[in-house]
Amino acid sequence: MSSPPRPVHAPGAVPVQPLPKVTAPGLRAWKLASTPITALTAYDFITASIVEAAGVDVVLVGDSLANTALGYENTLPVTLEEMLVAVRAVRRGLRRALLVADMPFGSYQSGESEALRAAIGFVKAGAEAVKLEGGSRMASLVARLVQSGIPVMGHIGLTPQSLHAMGGYKVQGRDEEDARLLREDACALQAAGAFSLVLEGIPAPLAEEISRELDIPTIGIGAGPCCDGQILVIADLLGMLDGRRPRFVRQYLSFHDLAVDAVQRYRRDVRDGTFPAPQESYGLRADRISSSRDRIPGDPPSDPARSPAPAR
């Protein structure tokens, strides 16, 4: 059997090598090399394809699916089944990026056996790791999942699933005692086997201190510039939703405004009768038999044998 042909490149062009697959254990080497980790959320095939094409390293199917895509008030109502649907869709849009699934509220608080079943479900749906919120009190569960072959990303600081216990979305670790507890949480999760740690809503100096103390990479969101990586919710980055955004968000696009403008122009064109135009419509040949060019995609070719008999 002949070998497959080699790709042909233009004279003088340097062949583009695909970037290596991102893996959970491999991210520790990124920290050692001081290579910043880029991470974003995605909730469906389209957003996954966008962040994959942009070269993002880690893609999180976050429980922020609840309030960004499903319209819930906060992250608490989203179900395991809804998260699994999103994970399967995002999986189809990724090749290189590491896919992490957020374990929703209620899927791991009722015991380690139930949590393990939920985590296995995420892996079967295509996730390569799971993320869960909580510090030292979650260390035993993290160890159980890791021992079962499931990489775990920790999450401490402002933990949205503890919204009611915290009294709202408030920056954590601002006083000495809270900062000490967060440092202990970070060390406990690392000792339990977590491969990385999300630091959310904590003072930048504390995040820098924790990042220096840990061997595993930290990924910040509202935690300053000295973490080993950064993550944002894609709806915030692209400006998909109207209204206020958190202080730590940098909005790179006003998608909401652009989309509303586009839909208004479409509505106007329909009302004015300028859409669809002739070039956006199908026509007939002079003998009124559709040519293959004009046939709607998916229609079977005409069969003369099935044509009605001519009138006598």
Active site residues: 200
- From 136, 137, 143, 70, select the one nearest 104 (Cα to Cα): 70
Query: What whole-number distance in Å separates Cα of residue 294 and Cα of residue 296?
Result: 6
Residues 18 and 55: beta-carbon distance below 8 Å: no
Quick one: tokens of 40? Answer: 């974003």
Residues 207 and 197: beta-carbon distance below 8 Å: no
Residue appearing with tokens 């900062």:
179
- Determine the 3-state secondary structure of 230 from DSSP: strand
Query: What whole-number distance in Å separates Cα of residue 255 and Cα of residue 257?
Result: 6
Residue appearing with tokens 């989309």:
259
Across-strand partners of 102? 131
Across-strand partners of 220? 199, 230
